[in-house]
Amino acid sequence: MPSDKIAPFPKTRLRRIRQSSATRALTREHTLSVSDLIWPVFICEGDNIEQPVASMPGVVRRSVDKVDEAAKEAAGLGIPAICLFPYTNPQLKTPDCAEAWNPENLSNRATRAIKSAGLDIAVMTDVALDPYNSNGHDGLVVDGEVVNDLTVDALVKQALSQAEAGADIIGPSDMMDGRIGAIRLALEEHGFPNVLLLSYAAKYASGFYGPFRDAVGASGALKGDKATYQMDPANGQEALRLVARDLSEGADMVMVKPGMPYLDICHRVKEQFGVPTFAYQVSGEYAMLQAAIQNGWLDGDKVIMESLLAFKRAGCDGILTYFALDVARKLAKN
């Protein structure tokens, strides 16, 4: 607001609206609610397993039966969506990534378990090949190159298997060109017109993904980096072009990833397109905050909420965050 629109001091005392919790509540511009949260959950083989992820304090890999239980708690707290990420047995990882569209893979079994429970929660799945790829990449590797068009064919098969398992929201996170259009067409042709596509439209080649790759078992397998298909962290205009393209191809919602280092991109996407815009508070962001909280350097209750409010202030409609369950409990208590 231009300064000439504000009466000079003492007519204007901006501290007036901050003088009590009541007046602060009345004038608060943004709020965080449980309906803003998507909870990412890691799945592993076995029964009755909750296996800690060392680089993500407080996060575990869950067997399918435990994912079912966790989804029930999340639904009871009002969390609208859970997002599934599999820790695939290394023996099932191959160069052709065929496990990605196996109807009995971890993601599909967990989806069916949650849907069969009749819970009021949406199931979101991840479309990318890295959990199934012996090369650790999000796409197929041919002669040392992550190839685009053959990967898109594979991603279509993966997305269809997830839709058949009952996924409500499919999240292509691979960053291949043309995959949104190809997946949307396949969903229409195979009788899944109502499955939502939440495109990871602006996913950066970031250093903040390390703990996630530990959690899905992709760290040791990865050969090289992902800079040929994920975005250069220096670029902003390119993100807008990618969002525009994915919307034109049939994306219902878009994602910016990582989150906090790219709040400017979140804001620009929402301002320019006005579409449902999400951010992923990724594993590295989570791990940094948890490390500082556990060392007593930061007040956990304050910084977790503050970090999530930053996404809302930037224009995001929702946030994927590993803090989702804890935040939902706090919101319910308050």
Would residue 333 show up in a list of annotated catalytic residues for this protein? Answer: no
Q: Give Cβ neighbours of residue 15 (< 8 Å, ≥ 6 apart).
A: none
Q: Do the beta carbons of residue 179 and residue 128 sit within 8 Å? A: no
Q: Do the beta carbons of residue 159 and residue 204 sit within 8 Å? A: no
Kindly name the residue from 66, 257, 270, 312 that is annotated as catalytic.
Answer: 257
Q: Do the beta carbons of residue 79 and residue 325 sit within 8 Å? A: yes
Long-range contacts of 120-123 (CB under 8 A, 24+ apart): 120/75, 121/71, 121/74, 121/75, 121/79, 121/80, 121/81, 121/82, 122/80, 122/81, 122/82, 122/168, 122/169, 123/71, 123/81, 123/82, 123/84, 123/166, 123/167, 123/168, 123/169
Please state the three-class secondary structure of 298-329 as a single string.
CCHHHHHHHHHHHHHHHCCCEEEECCHHHHHH
Kindly name the residue from 203, 226, 270, 312 that is annotated as catalytic.
Answer: 203
Would residue 257 show up in a list of annotated catalytic residues for this protein? Answer: yes
Residues designated catalytic:
203, 257
